[in-house]
Each structure stands twice: as structure tokens, then as C-alpha cells.
């Protein structure tokens, strides 16, 4: 499993800083988002980012996109889809196997995520999003790229259930889900239990990890990955059990991002090491129990006395 650093973490720093930090802490790649490139110049910007990353010894795992596929204006939808296709092509040109983003947003109150996105969505919004992702899936498949659909506040897929519904409508292997429990926690009580990821079994292509404290209808991200209300050991091990190929860690809070993101990398590695150690201990205990069974049966038989 790859461990990826989200470039949003260092949104106040230049891209070279992101690569340098990723190299220092042994991250396997970065997620390149629009804070660090101009989407209107995506071809040149991705090429420059890849060249820069090569100098630091760190690759680009995926490139971000921001969709507008649910808008009522067909012209806006087409412009948005054209730009995502350019992003896919730019990624493919440099061997980047994934783009990640969302289909657009529906917003009533920016301070209360619970009343936006899927709470406002009508079936037509899902149909527009599904039409867009079917087109992108076909295009991406021809380029050897996967399209991540992120569980994102304000989108029709702001919960795991919404993402699962959309992916079922799209029904294309190149379109996969990007789970993000931190984005969904305040939106849906169901998204507070890692078992909700079972709805994405076979379609979980990526995973975003952070932590939070609820702040009314919003999330307060000023918290380390190991703290907050999410049991991230449970989320990490659940995502791993479903075969997710990469976990992307981000710090979305205020202040200096360097200490929390350094601790976050160690935390994820420790969680995976703990999972493996516990699995070994469980296996040893179960083997010991199985070996004890004949002895226990013999002892019970002896205690019962000879058969009559």
C-alpha cells in the first residue's frame, strides 16, 4: 500500500516544499491539487510538477480536478468535463494512474454541511453526475487512468451511501471511490462507522485520512490524525482489508502543518505494523488453541472415568 501526502497540507507553501517534505519523511508520492497548479494550464503544469518531483525523488500519485457536472447549464457541464479529460490526458502522459475530485457542489448554507449536497440533490443531479462520470470513465480507460470520486462536502456524493449510489449508476471499472471519513462525519451518522466502507467493496480506489472535532454543522480539522473523534486505526485497517492501494494523508487545520503531518506519517505506519503484529498473535493463539484441543478432550475423557 502506498502512503501519499496531500499537497493541500502545504497550501501556503510552494510545490517544491511539498516534494522536499515528502522526500524527508519517506512518502511514496503526493496528490497534486489546484493550490499548486493552474488547471487552465494543466498540460504544462503537470509536466513541470513531474519534473520537479523527479529532482526530489518523489512522484505524483494523482492529480486533482474540480468538477461542475451537476450544473443545470449544459455548456458549463461540457466545459468542466473537457477540462477533466485534459487532466486525465496530462496524467497519462506522465504515467500518473489516477485523477481525483468531485462532480460539483450544491450549497444552501456553507456553515452547515448537513443541509448541502445530497440533502439538496434531486435525481436529476445524480443523473447529470453519472452521465459525466460515464463519459470520463470511457475516456480514462483508453488512457489507462482511474477517476476517483471523492466523498466531499456539498457534492451529491458527500456520504459513502451517495458515492455508492453514484458509482452503481456509472457502472464503469475506471471510476472508483475515494473515501474520506473526515469529510463525511458531520454529514451522516452512518459515516462514523468504518463498516460503512463495505458499500464500496470492489470500488474503493483511494482513501483520504485526517481527523476532526465536530463544530456544529462543520468539521474542525485543527487536530492530529491520531486524535479527534475518528478511530483512524479502525478506518485504516478496514480500508486495507478492502484492498485500497493507497492512503493519502492531509492536514487541513491552521498553524504550522509540519509537526502534525510528520506525526501522521508515523501514525499510519504504526497502525499498519500493529495490524500485522496483531494478526500474527491471533494466528499463533488460534494455532495453540487447536493444538490444545486433543489434550483437553483426553483430559475430559479421563475425568469421566472408563466407559461402561
| Domain residue ranges of the chain, discontinuous segments joined by + | 2-303
pLDDT at residue 300, rounded to an integer:
72
C-alpha grid cell for residue 299?
Answer: 483430559
Long-range contacts of 258-266 (CB under 8 A, 24+ apart): 258/21, 260/224, 260/225, 261/5, 261/9, 261/21, 261/25, 262/25, 263/224, 263/225, 263/226, 264/209, 264/224, 264/225, 264/226, 265/3, 265/5, 265/25, 265/26, 265/27
User: Facing residues of 209 across strands?
Assistant: 249
Question: What is residue 305's predicted lDDT score, i.e. its pLDDT?
Answer: 61
Q: What is the pLDDT of residue 304?
A: 64
pLDDT score, position 307: 54
Q: d(Cα 86, Cα 240) in Å, to the nearest integer?
A: 31
Bridge partners for 149 per DSSP: 101, 177
Q: What local confidence, expressed as pLDDT, does residue 299 receive?
A: 72
Class of domain 2-303 (CATH, top level): alpha beta
- From the CA atom positions of the chain, what is the Rg in Å? 23
Terminal CA-CA length for the chain:
61
Cell digits of residue 284: 499463533
Angle, CA of 101, 252 and 249, to the nearest 5°: 65
- The reported pTM is 0.93
Lookup: cell for 33: 491539487
pLDDT the model gives residue 289: 87
10-residue stretch averages of pLDDT, the chain, 308 residues long: 97 98 97 96 98 98 97 97 98 98 96 96 98 98 98 98 98 98 97 98 98 94 96 98 97 97 95 96 93 77 63
Locus of grid cell 500519485: 61
Amino acid at each position: 500500500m502506498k502512503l501519499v501526502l496531500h499537497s493541500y497540507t502545504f497550501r501556503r507553501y510552494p510545490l517544491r516544499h511539498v516534494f522536499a517534505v515528502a522526500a524527508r519523511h519517506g512518502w511514496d508520492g503526493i496528490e497534486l491539487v489546484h493550490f499548486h497548479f493552474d488547471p487552465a494550464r494543466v498540460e504544462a503544469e503537470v509536466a513541470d510538477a513531474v519534473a520537479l518531483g523527479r529532482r526530489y525523488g518523489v512522484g505524483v500519485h494523482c492529480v486533482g480536478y474540480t468538477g461542475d457536472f451537476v450544473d443545470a447549464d449544459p455548456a458549463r457541464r461540457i466545459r468542466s468535463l473537457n477540462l477533466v479529460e485534459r487532466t486525465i490526458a496530462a496524467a497519462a502522459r506522465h504515467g500518473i494512474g489516477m485523477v481525483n475530485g468531485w462532480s460539483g457542489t450544491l450549497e444552501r448554507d456553507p456553515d452547515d454541511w448537513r443541509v448541502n449536497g445530497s440533502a439538496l440533490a434531486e435525481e436529476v443531479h445524480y443523473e447529470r453526475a453519472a452521465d459525466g462520470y460515464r463519459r470520463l470513465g470511457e475516456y480514462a480507460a483508453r488512457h489507462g487512468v482511474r477517476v476517483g470520486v471523492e466523498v466531499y462536502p456539498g457534492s451529491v456524493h458527500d456520504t459513502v451511501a451517495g458515492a455508492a449510489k453514484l458509482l452503481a449508476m456509472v457502472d464503469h471499472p475506471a471510476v472508483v471511490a475515494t473515501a474520506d471519513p473526515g469529510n463525511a462525519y458531520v454529514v451522516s451518522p452512518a459515516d462514523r462507522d468504518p463498516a460503512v466502507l463495505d458499500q464500496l467493496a470492489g470500488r474503493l480506489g483511494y482513501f483520504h485520512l485526517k481527523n476532526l472535532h465536530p463544530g456544529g454543522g462543520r468539521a474542525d480539522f485543527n487536530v492530529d490524525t491520531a486524535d479527534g473523534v475518528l478511530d483512524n486505526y479502525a478506518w485504516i485497517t478496514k480500508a486495507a482489508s478492502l484492498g485500497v492501494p493507497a492512503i493519502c494523508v492531509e492536514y487541513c487545520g491552521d498553524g504550522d502543518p509540519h509537526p502534525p503531518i510528520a506525526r501522521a506519517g508515523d501514525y499510519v505506519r504504526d497502525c499498519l505494523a500493529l495490524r500485522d503484529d496483531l494478526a500474527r498473535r491471533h494466528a499463533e493463539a488460534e494455532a495453540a488453541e487447536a493444538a490444545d484441543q486433543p489434550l483437553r478432550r483426553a483430559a475430559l475423557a479421563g475425568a469421566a472415568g472408563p466407559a461402561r
